[in-house]
Structure 1
Amino acid sequence: MFAWSQLLLDCSGMLLCGPLASWAVLWRKFLASVARILSSEISPSRKRYRLRPRSPLANVPPSTAPGVSILRPLKGLDTNLYENLESTFTQEYPNFEILLSVADES
């Protein structure tokens, strides 16, 4: 990776140092603006998938919907464990069972 700060220190006696320093500052501000715009674009798209509409199968009577088993292996050190379990327990499907599997210590 190129060290801009080292270049600015090395060019102390050159005439190019002033314009180069201002260009580097402008480039950094541009990159920060792009990062800010991209982060604001990504956040609403995540919310869109989080707040999705109800499934048409959510309104089907449980007696006519086929049964589904959800197997959730647990270790206790899983990343995003709370969100993963929340999505499992807030299913809208009418006929399902949740099987939690935990490793035996023996």
Structure 2
Amino acid sequence: MSISSSDTPSTYFTILYFAAASDITKKRSETLTAPVHVSQLFTLLDKKYPGLKDKVLCSSAITVNLEYVDVDESMSDEEGLVIKAGDEVAIIPPVSSG
């Protein structure tokens, strides 16, 4: 599921929620104001959806424009990745099989 940049306002990025992230947010996607440093993303989302960080984000994979991001590295690097207008971010919680 991808939203083209022509569908997203020029000052926003799209965030996609999967599995438990979608369950907590009650959304599959939304747009958020850009720019946002990756190190600030979890705090921003946890303010909007209390408990999301501890319940889901701490164990989720994050992609920006279909590229996996090392969140721990980005959080310790002040010069790290900035999510820009038109970018697509995905929150991908771990899945279990049984």
TM class by smaller structure: under 0.3
Q: Which has the higher strand share?
A: 2
Give me the TM-score of the superposition, normalised by structure 1.
Answer: 0.20
Greater helix content: 1
Greater RCO (Cα-Cα under 8 Å, separation 6 or more): 2
